[in-house]
Structure 1
Amino acid sequence: MTHPVTDRSRPDLDDTTVEGLGKLSEALETVEQARGQLYGFHQHSGKADLLLQDAVELFRKAGQDALADDLERDLVGRNVIADRWTFQIVEDYDATYWSTFRAFDERARQELAGGDRHVFEARMKQRERTAGHPDHQAGPALDD
C-alpha cells in the first residue's frame, strides 16, 4: 500500500516527470483559455444576430423593406460555418478536444503524481519562497 505524500512538491518524482506534468498542465490551461474565447465567440455571435434582428425591424419601420427582407432571409439565423451555429461548434469542441485533453491531464496526474495538481508550481513555490517569512508560508499540503 502506498502512503500519501504530504508535500505537493513531490520530492519522490524526478525533475523531468515534474517538468512534463507542468507542461501538460500549462497546455491544458491554454486550452481552457481557448475554450473561454470560443464561448465568447458564441456569445458575441449570438448577440450580433439579435442586434441584426433589431436593425431589420428598424429598417422595416423606416420603409426599407427590400433591405430588411434581404437581411432577414440571408443573414438572420445564418450558420456561422457550414451546417453549424456557434453552440454546435462549442459542443463539438467540448466533446472532441477539450474533454479528451482533460482526461489525459487527469490520467497523467493519477499515474505519475497520485492525482496531485500543480506539482511543478508547488516545487517553484518551495524554491522561491523565503523560509520563515510570515508572507511566504508553505500553506496547505506543502511542508515547511
Structure 2
Amino acid sequence: MSDRPTDDRPDPDHRRPAGVDDATVEALGSFSEALEAIEVARGHLYTFHRLSGTADLTLGKAVDQLREAGHTELADLVDRELVGRNVLQGRWTFQVVEEYDDGYYATFRRLEAEARERLVDGRRHLYEAEMKEDRRTRGVPGHEATPPDV
C-alpha cells in the first residue's frame, strides 16, 4: 500500500513554515541559486586541477620524446622552466583547490545553511518546491508532489 498522502501535497520538509513571507522565501531562493553557481564554479576548479595535472604529465612525456628525438637543449629548457611549475605564485592546483574549499566555499555553504536555519527551520529549496506546486498538474501521472515511497 502506498504511503502517498491523499491530498498529494509536498512533503513537510518542502513546505514553508508558518509565518514565513514571500520575500524571505524569494531571498533564500536567490541564496540557493547563488550556491548552485558556486557548486558549478567549484566543479570547474576541479576540472582545472585535473586538466592542469594531465597537461604537466603529458608535457613530461613530450620532454622525454624531445630528448629521444635528439632535441636535448630544448627538452632541458622545457623541463627546467615548465614541467612541475607552479600555476600561481607558490601553488600547484591542489593548493588552489584546498584554499578555495577551506575559505570561500566553506564560508558560502556555512552561511547559506545558517540563513536557512534561522529563517525556515533549515528547510531547503522552498522556492523551487513552491514553483513545482504552481507548475505541476495535480492528478496527472508524472506530476505527483512526491515519489511513491514518500
TM-score by length of 1: 0.90
Superposed structure 1 runs of 4+ greater than 4 Å apart: none
Higher relative contact order (CA 8 A, sep 6+): 2
How do 1:66-85 and structure 2 match up within 5 A? 66-85=73-92
Q: How far apart, in 2, do the equivalents of 1:66 and 1:128 lie?
A: 66
Instruction: Report how far residue 85 of structure 1 moved.
Output: 0.5
Q: 1:33 aligns with which of 22, 26, 40?
A: 40
For the residue of structure 1 that corresponds to 2:52, the secondary structure is helix
Which residue among 48, 61, 72 is the counterpart of 1:54? 61
Equivalent residue letter for 1:8: H
Identical positions, percent? 54
RMSD value over aligned CA atoms?
1.4
Residues 9 and 126, structure 1, Cα contact 8 Å, conserved in 2? no
Task: Return 5+ residue gaps in structure 2 as ranges.
Answer: 1-10
Contact 1:9 / 1:120 at 8 angstroms: preserved in 2? no
1:90 and 2:97 are equivalent in the alignment: yes
Question: What is the CA distance between 1:81 and its match in structure 2?
Answer: 1.0
Q: Measure, in 2, the Cα distance between the counterparts of 1:78 and 1:7.
A: 49
Whether the aligned pair in 2 keeps the contact of 1:56 and 1:68 (CA below 8 Å) is yes
CA distance in 2, matches of 1:6, 1:52: 54
TM-score w.r.t. the length of structure 2 is: 0.87
